Amino acid sequence: MNKSLGILEKIELLIPGFRGYKQKELIREDDALVRRKVAGLLDESRQNLEQFLLYIKRKDIDLALRLDDLRLELMKASQMIRHAPYGYASLYSRVRIKENELQQILQHDYQLITQAEEVYNLVNGLFDVTETSEILKKANEIWEKLMRIEQEIRYRNNMFKMER
């Protein structure tokens, strides 16, 4: 049984309790699960970065200040997803969800989750780096991923504002 997983199965593996928008009354619940997962990963990343900052402040205050901007951006992205208007409001009121719309939703949710996991892993990787240039290189990677996450959050929010 060697079949590749579909996007729904991939999300179900990443988020315990995710039901896959199979019933319209569960849409808001699944939306909350996705948003909590992404916000949680970003919050954990920020907390880990704060620990790293405690270490780096003693060695290089200028670098610590640059990394603090990254900490603030992590906080901003986490708040963006946590406090975004509940998605799927327009879908929730509908009787049927079109398959292509569902696939779009699932794809964006999967992108958000996997990108947040990548940020988490990159932040944790900072503890293994000692050279300032390498720390800055990793910080820039994290920054770029955060920009993509924020773009994905804005796109996701706009998806549900569109007239259906």
* pLDDT tens per residue across span 88-141: 444 444 434 566 766 777 788 889 999 999 999 999 999 999 899 999 999 999
Q: Indicate the domain borders of the chain.
A: 23-159
Q: At what angle do helices 99-125 and 7-14 cross, to 10 degrees?
A: 40
pTM of the model: 0.78
CATH class of residue range 23-159: mainly alpha
Question: Rounded to an integer, what is the distance from CA 137 to the centroid of its chain?
Answer: 21
Q: Which residue has the tokens 């309790």?
A: 17
Contact 38, 118 (CB under 8 A): no
Least confident of 68-82, 84-98, 115-129, 150-164: 84-98
